[in-house]
């Protein structure tokens, strides 16, 4: 348990956050093809080495979430990615869920698979250097969703995953993402987020999970992408903090935010407003961004070795903006 507390303390080092580089082979392949990059395991490896070898990245990144493919890959010199990150003070984590599947008797909701064999996989990942893990569930806002059955099933699965992580001495990040897609307004988003967070806390308690060594990866309370009204930054910050404050135990290890389809600028501005305007919260806040941290780097790299410096410069600029936002100091 002591090591888990040490991991939490490191991940929430002030001014630092988590880089989500955990795209599955399918997801990274799709992004590569969109940019005209050949979809090969070697180019996957080269891209990740480009990210992880970025000079000074450890000034802004405390941990990196890897995929199963990535945790088995190495730097050009043969050093495993996990070991290379650890040497630079960036803790290696691992995404352990096996993706989404349609919920039974529903064409609108999804479950997350991957509990089968998870105990053994966690031990294997721990041997490879992982000290924290992540599991993602998704919830859709519509006139008929989320249903109570889906809400309970996904939150119970998150809690069972977290219990297995704690048993293995690995810090669990639980990610109940409320999707940004839709026409819903801010108040609808708030209502669903509060339902999801309340149910998750209940299920974690039912499974006996230690809140102190658990991290919530939260989506922000936003109106849907197709909603006719754009949210004010301050309204998003207020609604998100209110929802978290009404549902989370004070003992929770911390909260990291996902960017969830927002533009880079939106993701940074919303985080900045929360960290600037709401101090004295019982849990630390920071970022765990994927696309909002390295989408511009991927585009700059484009599969070309000659473009590595430009890609690393883009990543470092976005990491620096995230760091400032996590301190409420982004101008």
Task: Cite the active site residues.
Answer: 175, 217
How far, in Å, CA of 215 to CA of 212, rounded? 8
Tokens of 323: 């760091």
Candidates 234, 127, 143; CA nearest to 183 is 143
The CA angle 214-120-43, to the nearest 5 degrees, is 85
Tokens of 296: 């511009």
Tokens of 58: 């450890």
Calculate the dihedral angle through the C-alpha atoms of 203, 207, 211, 216, rounding to the nearest 10 degrees: -50
H-only helix segments in 183-307: 186-206, 233-247, 264-277, 291-301
Q: Are 316 and 323 in contact (CB under 8 A)?
A: no
How far, in Å, CA of 158 to CA of 204, rounded? 8
Candidates 317, 255, 329, 305; CA nearest to 17 is 255
Residue 61 in 3-state DSSP? strand
Q: What sign results for the dihedral spanned by CA atoms 261, 267, 273, 276?
A: positive
How far, in Å, CA of 140 to CA of 180, rounded? 8
Residue 96 — φ and ψ, nearest 5°?
A: -110, -10
How far, in Å, CA of 214 to CA of 264, rounded? 27
Query: For the chain, how big is the Rg over CA atoms in Å?
Result: 19
């Amino acid at each position: 348990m002591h090591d888990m507390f040490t991991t939490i303390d490191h991940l929430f080092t002030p001014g630092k956050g988590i880089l989500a580089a955990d795209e599955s082979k399918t997801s990274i392949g799709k992004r590569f093809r969109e940019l005209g990059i050949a979809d090969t395991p070697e180019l996957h490896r080269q891209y990740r080495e480009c990210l992880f070898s970025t000079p000074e990245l450890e000034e802004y990144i405390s941990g990196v979430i890897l995929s199963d493919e990535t945790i088995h890959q190495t730097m050009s010199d043969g050093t495993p990615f996990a070991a290379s990150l650890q040497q630079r003070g960036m803790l290696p984590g691992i995404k352990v869920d096996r993706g989404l599947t349609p919920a039974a008797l529903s064409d609108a909701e999804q479950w997350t698979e991957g509990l089968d064999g998870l105990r053994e996989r966690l031990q294997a990942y721990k041997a490879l250097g992982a000290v924290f893990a992540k599991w993602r569930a998704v919830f859709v806002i519509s006139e008929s969703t989320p249903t109570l059955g889906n809400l309970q099933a996904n939150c119970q699965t998150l809690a069972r995953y977290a219990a297995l992580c704690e048993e293995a001495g690995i810090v669990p990040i639980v990610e109940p993402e409320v999707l940004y897609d839709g026409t819903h307004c801010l108040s609808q988003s708030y209502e669903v987020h509060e339902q999801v967070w309340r149910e998750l806390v209940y299920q974690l308690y039912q499974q006996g999970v230690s809140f102190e060594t658990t991290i919530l990866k939260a989506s922000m309370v936003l109106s849907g992408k197709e909603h006719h009204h754009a949210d004010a930054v301050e309204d998003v910050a207020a609604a998100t903090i209110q929802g978290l404050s009404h549902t989370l135990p004070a003992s929770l290890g911390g909260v990291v935010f996902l960017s969830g389809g927002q533009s880079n600028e939106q993701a940074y501005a919303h985080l900045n407003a929360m960290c600037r305007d709401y101090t004295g919260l019982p849990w630390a806040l920071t970022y765990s961004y994927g696309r909002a941290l390295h989408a511009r780097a991927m585009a700059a790299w484009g599969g070309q070795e000659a473009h590595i410096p430009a890609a690393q410069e883009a990543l470092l600029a976005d990491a620096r903006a995230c760091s400032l936002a996590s301190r409420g100091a982004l101008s």
